[in-house]
C-alpha cells in the first residue's frame, strides 16, 4: 500500500510538472514559398524570394521565434514554373514533402495564386499573397490572406487619383484606353471600367480596348490601334517584363511615348530593375504604375539594407511585400504562442498589428476581414523619373510630385 501510494504521488507530481513546464523548444519552423523561379515571371519570383530570405535572416539573427523556444525559421522554396498547372503541382509537392509548414507565401501572378491555394486550403496551410484578383479571397476559403488591395478596388481608387494628378499638371483627360494581357490581375483591375456608363462620373470614355495572351510576340498591331484611337492616356497592363518592353518600344517607334501620351501600369513588373536594363530610361521616362506596395521614407533603412545585401538598385514591391509576409507570420506565431499551421491561421484571423510589420504596408495597419482581405490596404503610385522608379503618391511619403505627359 505504501509503495502504491508513493507511485501515485510521483505520477501526480510528474503530471503537474508536465502541465506547468514550458513547451519543448523546436529547432526550426518552416514557411513555404512558391514562386515562378523559371519562365517569363522568373525575375519577379526571384525578387520575392530575396525579400523573404532577408526577413528570415533578420528573424533568426534576432533569436528566432521566442514563443517556440527560439526556433529558427527555415524558408522552403519551391519553383512553381510558368503555368497554373505547374503551380498546382508545386503546391502538392510542398504540402506532401513538408507537411509541417506553418504557412506559406506566393505566387504573385493571380492565376498562379488561385491554383496554389486550391491545394494549400485543403491542407489547412495559411497562405499569404499580394496577388490582386478578388477571386483569391472570394471563394470562401478559411486559410488564405491577401495583403494587397484587390484589383477592382485598386482601379476604383486609381481613377480619381490619377485624374487629380493630371489636373494638378494642367491636363484634363477625356478619353482613355486599355492594353492588357488576359491574366487574372489585369482582368480584375479593368472589369468595372468596361461596364457601360461606369466611367461617365469621371468624364471619361473608353476608346480603345486590347487584350492579348502573354508572352506577346508582336506589339505592333496593338499599339497601332492605340495610335489610331489617340486616347488621352492608357492603362498599359502586361504582367510580363518583356511584354512591357515590347509595348513601350513600339509606342516610342510610332510616337506615343516620350511625354506625348501618359501610360499607367499596374502591379510589380513595371518596377522591376530588369525593365530598366532591357527598355532603357528614355522609354520608361514618365511611365506611372499603381501598385500595392513600395518603399517609403518610413522604410528607407530597410530598402537601403536590401540594396546593399543584394546589389539590386532598389527594393521593389515583390521584395518588400514578401519581407513583410514573413514578418507577419513571425508576429502570428509569437501571439499564438505556438508554431503550428492551425494556431497561426487562427491567430491571423484576429491579428491587429499597428507597428513592426504593419509599417511595411500602405495603410500602416495589418488586420484581415472574414474573407482574409487586409482591411486597411491602400494603393501607391510610382513614376519612372530619370531611370529610377520614385513614389509620387501618397503625397505625405512621396519622393516628388507626379508629372503628367502632354501631347
Are 325 and 251 members of one domain? Answer: no
My answer on whether 41 and 118 are in the same domain is yes
**Residue 10 domain-assigned (yes or no):** no
Residues pairing with 234 in the sheet: 177, 263
Residues of the domain holding 337: 28-149+297-360
In a domain, 367, yes or no: no
Say if residues 327 and 339 touch (Cβ distance below 8 Å). no
Instruction: Tell me what pLDDT residue 395 has.
Output: 85
Contact 367, 380 (CB under 8 A): no
- The reply to whether 387 and 251 lie within a common domain is yes
Asked if residue 177 belongs to a domain, the reply is: yes
Alpha-carbon gap, residue 344 to 335, rounded angstroms: 9
Q: What is the largest CA-CA distance in the chain?
A: 101
- Are 206 and 311 in a shared domain? no
Listed as own residue / partner, the contacts of 223-231 with beta carbons closer than 8 Å and 24 or more positions apart are: 223/179, 223/247, 223/250, 223/251, 223/254, 223/256, 224/250, 224/254, 226/177, 226/179, 226/251, 226/256, 227/254, 227/255, 227/256, 229/175, 229/177, 230/175, 231/175, 231/176, 231/177, 231/207, 231/261
* CATH number of the structural domain spanning residue 33: 3.40.50.2300
- In the prediction, which pLDDT does 25 show? 61
Please give the helix or strand (H or E) that residue 77 lies within, else none.
strand 72-79
Same domain, 177 and 197: yes
* Count of all residues that appear for the chain in the document: 407
Both 125 and 236 in a single domain?
no
Angle at 320 between CA 39 and CA 41, to 5 degrees: 10
Residue 83 maps to a domain: yes
| Residues whose CB falls within 8 Å of the CB of residue 13, separated by 6 or more in sequence, listed in order | none
Are residues 98 and 187 both part of a single domain? Answer: no
Q: How many domains does the chain have?
A: 2
H or E element in which residue 56 lies? helix 42-61
Q: How far apart are CA 82 and CA 355, in angstroms?
A: 36
pLDDT score, position 258: 59
Q: How far apart are CA 30 and CA 126, in angstroms?
A: 12
Of 187, 269, 179, nearest in space to 225 by CA: 179
Tell the residue number behind the cell numbers 510580363, with chain if given. 240
> What does each of the 407 residues of the chain score in pLDDT, given as a tens digit?
455 454 444 444 444 443 433 445 679 999 999 999 999 889 899 999 999 999 999 999 999 999 999 999 999 999 999 999 999 999 999 999 999 999 999 998 899 999 999 999 999 999 999 998 999 999 999 999 999 999 889 888 999 999 999 998 889 999 999 999 998 889 988 999 999 999 999 999 999 999 999 999 999 999 999 999 999 999 999 988 899 999 999 998 988 865 678 999 988 889 988 889 988 898 899 999 999 999 988 898 999 999 999 999 999 999 999 999 999 999 999 999 999 999 999 999 999 999 999 999 999 999 999 999 999 999 999 999 999 999 999 888 888 889 998 76
Quick one: 284 and 302 in the same domain? no
Domain co-membership, 258 together with 385: yes
Asked whether residue 369 is domain-assigned, the answer is: no
The pLDDT of residue 259: 63
Cβ(136)–Cβ(292) below 8 Å: no
Residue 203, domain member (yes or no): yes
Q: Is 101 left (phi over 0), alpha (psi -120 to 50) or beta?
A: beta
Kind and range of the H or E run holding 115: helix 110-122
Q: Same domain, yes or no, for 159 and 145?
A: no
- For residue 5, being part of any structural domain is answered with no
pLDDT at 16: 42
Measure the CA angle with vertex 388, ends 220 and 302; round to 5°: 130
Same domain, 71 and 109: yes
Is 375 inside any structural domain?
Answer: no
* 3-class DSSP state of 80: coil
The CA-atom distances, in angstroms, between 323 and each of 130, 133, 137, 174 are 11, 21, 21, 40
Instruction: Specify whether 158 is located in the same domain as 52.
Output: no
Amino acid at each position: 500500500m505504501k509503495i502504491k501510494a508513493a507511485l501515485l504521488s510521483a505520477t501526480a507530481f510528474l503530471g503537474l510538472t508536465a502541465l506547468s513546464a514550458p513547451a519543448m523548444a523546436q529547432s526550426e519552423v518552416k514557411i513555404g514559398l512558391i514562386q515562378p523561379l523559371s519562365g517569363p515571371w522568373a525575375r519577379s519570383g526571384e525578387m520575392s524570394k530575396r525579400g523573404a530570405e532577408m526577413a528570415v535572416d533578420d528573424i533568426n539573427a534576432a533569436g528566432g521565434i521566442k514563443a517556440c523556444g527560439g526556433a529558427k525559421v527555415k524558408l522552403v522554396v519551391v519553383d512553381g514554373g510558368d503555368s497554373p498547372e505547374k503551380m498546382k503541382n508545386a503546391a502538392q509537392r510542398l504540402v506532401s514533402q513538408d507537411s509541417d509548414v506553418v504557412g506559406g507565401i506566393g505566387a504573385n501572378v493571380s492565376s498562379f495564386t488561385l491554383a496554389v491555394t486550391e491545394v494549400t486550403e485543403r491542407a489547412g496551410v495559411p497562405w499569404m499573397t499580394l496577388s490582386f484578383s478578388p477571386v483569391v479571397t472570394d471563394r470562401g476559403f478559411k486559410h488564405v490572406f491577401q495583403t494587397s488591395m484587390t484589383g477592382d478596388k485598386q482601379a476604383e481608387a486609381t481613377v480619381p487619383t490619377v485624374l487629380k494628378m493630371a489636373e494638378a499638371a494642367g491636363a484634363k483627360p477625356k478619353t482613355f484606353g486599355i492594353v492588357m494581357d488576359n491574366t487574372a490581375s489585369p482582368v480584375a483591375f479593368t472589369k468595372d471600367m468596361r461596364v457601360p456608363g461606369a466611367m461617365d462620373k469621371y468624364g471619361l470614355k473608353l476608346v480603345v480596348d486590347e487584350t492579348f495572351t502573354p508572352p506577346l510576340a508582336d506589339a505592333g498591331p496593338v499599339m497601332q490601334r492605340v495610335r489610331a484611337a489617340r486616347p488621352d492616356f492608357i492603362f498599359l497592363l502586361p504582367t510580363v517584363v518583356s511584354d512591357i518592353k515590347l509595348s513601350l518600344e513600339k509606342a516610342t517607334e510610332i510616337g506615343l511615348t516620350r511625354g506625348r501620351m501618359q501610360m499607367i501600369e499596374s502591379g510589380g513588373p513595371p518596377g522591376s530593375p530588369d525593365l530598366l536594363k532591357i527598355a532603357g530610361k528614355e522609354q520608361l521616362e514618365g511611365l506611372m504604375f499603381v501598385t500595392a506596395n513600395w518603399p517609403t521614407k518610413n522604410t528607407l533603412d530597410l530598402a537601403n539594407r536590401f540594396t546593399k545585401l543584394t546589389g539590386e538598385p532598389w527594393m521593389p514591391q515583390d521584395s518588400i511585400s514578401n519581407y513583410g509576409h514573413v514578418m507577419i507570420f513571425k508576429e502570428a506565431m509569437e501571439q499564438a504562442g505556438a508554431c503550428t499551421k492551425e494556431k497561426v491561421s487562427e491567430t491571423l484571423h484576429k491579428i491587429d498589428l499597428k507597428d513592426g510589420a504593419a509599417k511595411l504596408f500602405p495603410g500602416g495597419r495589418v488586420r484581415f476581414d472574414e474573407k482574409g482581405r487586409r482591411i486597411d490596404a491602400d494603393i501607391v503610385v510610382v513614376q519612372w523619373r530619370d531611370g529610377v522608379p520614385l513614389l509620387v503618391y501618397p503625397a505625405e511619403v512621396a519622393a516628388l510630385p507626379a508629372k503628367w505627359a502632354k501631347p
